[in-house]
């Protein structure tokens, strides 16, 4: 979702997420695992409510999903940020760079050859509506692991073809239900919904789930521009 109208606090929050690292991946524990002392000291340079939400995150806790019969295809509102970009799928490349040992530039065929994850989840928009949607794609953590993040990585910065930009905490990006999706409700993702790749996750509000994703940059500190709507005053963590 790229165009919220109401303040993010208009929706009730049910953050049950806890900070932790990927099982068997020590670098995630050392970089994404935040101590209470760090939170109090404000080392994340984020508002208090964002720090508290981050402390509640458990990247391994799976959000309950819905049966396929619960999908609400007419309920998903098609918001855009500025425009629907024209993307040549044959020439498309997803770049993953920044604080990594193995920068990547992947075409769609390579991405779609990786293991497909499908989930039926509730997409929640800050505008006050929600829709149960089936997303299919590649787990973002699988791509991040391929890029071999450096030990000090804490955040993921996302660029989109329409000029939209976002940033996530690393632990949320590594959640097993955070996808770069190329399917919706069992069909190829159309341009109006963010094709060829968009973020989809049950642990974030809709404005965090960038469409038309072209670039992912791993960083140790949040950039000055944290996210389009966040830079206008919206909550940065935006967890559910």
**Position 78 confidence tier, pLDDT thresholds 50, 70, 90:** confident
pLDDT at 15 over 90: no
Q: What is the pLDDT of residue 25?
A: 35
Pairing of strands 130-139, 179-184: antiparallel
Q: What is the pLDDT of residue 51?
A: 52
In angstroms, rounded to a whole number, what is the distance separating the alpha carbons of residues 121 and 136?
Answer: 11
The pTM score is: 0.78
In angstroms, rounded to a whole number, what is the distance separating the alpha carbons of residues 3 and 67?
Answer: 28
Q: What is the pLDDT of residue 18?
A: 28
Q: What is the pLDDT of residue 44?
A: 40
Which one is predicted more confidently, 45 or 83? 83
Answer yes or no: are the C-beta atoms of 181 and 65 closer than 8 Å. no
Mean pLDDT over each residue of the chain, to the nearest integer: 81
Residue 47 CB contacts under 8 Å (≥ 6 apart), including other chains: 235, 236
Tell me the domains of the chain and their CATH numbers: 8-232 (3.90.420.10)
Q: What is the pLDDT of residue 187?
A: 97
Answer yes or no: are the C-beta atoms of 199 and 181 closer than 8 Å. yes
239 DSSP 8-state letter: B
pLDDT at 205 over 50: yes
The fraction of the chain above a pLDDT of 70, given in percent, is: 74
pLDDT at 6 over 70: no
Answer yes or no: are the C-beta atoms of 105 and 95 closer than 8 Å. yes
The fraction of the chain above a pLDDT of 90, given in percent, is: 68
Q: What is the pLDDT of residue 1?
A: 54
Burial class of residue 43, CB neighbours in 10 A (0-12, 13-18, 19+): middle
Per-residue pLDDT, averaged over 46-71, amounts to 71
pLDDT at 45 over 90: no
Other Cβ atoms less than 10 A from the Cβ of 48: the count is: 10
Q: Quick one: CA dihedral 43, 45, 6, 228, positive or negative?
A: negative
């Amino acid at each position: 979702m790229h165009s919220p109208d109401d303040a993010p606090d208009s929706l009730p929050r049910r953050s049950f997420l806890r900070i932790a690292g990927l099982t068997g991946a020590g670098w995630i524990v050392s970089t994404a695992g935040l101590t209470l002392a760090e939170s109090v000291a404000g080392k994340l340079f984020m508002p208090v409510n964002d720090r508290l939400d981050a402390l509640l995150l458990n990247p391994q806790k799976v959000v309950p999903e819905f049966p396929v019969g619960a999908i609400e295809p007419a309920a998903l509102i098609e918001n855009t940020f500025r425009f629907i970009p024209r993307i040549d799928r044959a020439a498309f490349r997803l770049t993953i760079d920044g604080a990594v040992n193995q920068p990547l530039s992947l075409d769609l065929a390579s991405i779609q050859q990786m293991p497909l994850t499908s989930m039926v989840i509730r997409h929640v928009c800050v505008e006050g509506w929600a829709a149960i949607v089936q997303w299919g794609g590649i787990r973002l953590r699988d791509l991040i692991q391929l890029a071999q993040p450096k030990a000090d990585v804490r955040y993921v910065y996302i660029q989109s073809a329409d000029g939209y930009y976002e940033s996530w905490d690393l632990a949320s990006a590594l959640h097993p239900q955070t996808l770069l999706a190329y399917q919706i409700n069992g069909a190829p993702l159309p341009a109006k919904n963010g094709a060829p790749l968009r973020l989809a996750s049950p642990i974030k509000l809709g404005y965090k789930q960038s469409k038309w994703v072209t670039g992912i940059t791993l960083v140790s500190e949040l950039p000055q521009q944290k996210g389009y709507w966040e830079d206008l005053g919206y909550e940065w963590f935006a967890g559910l």
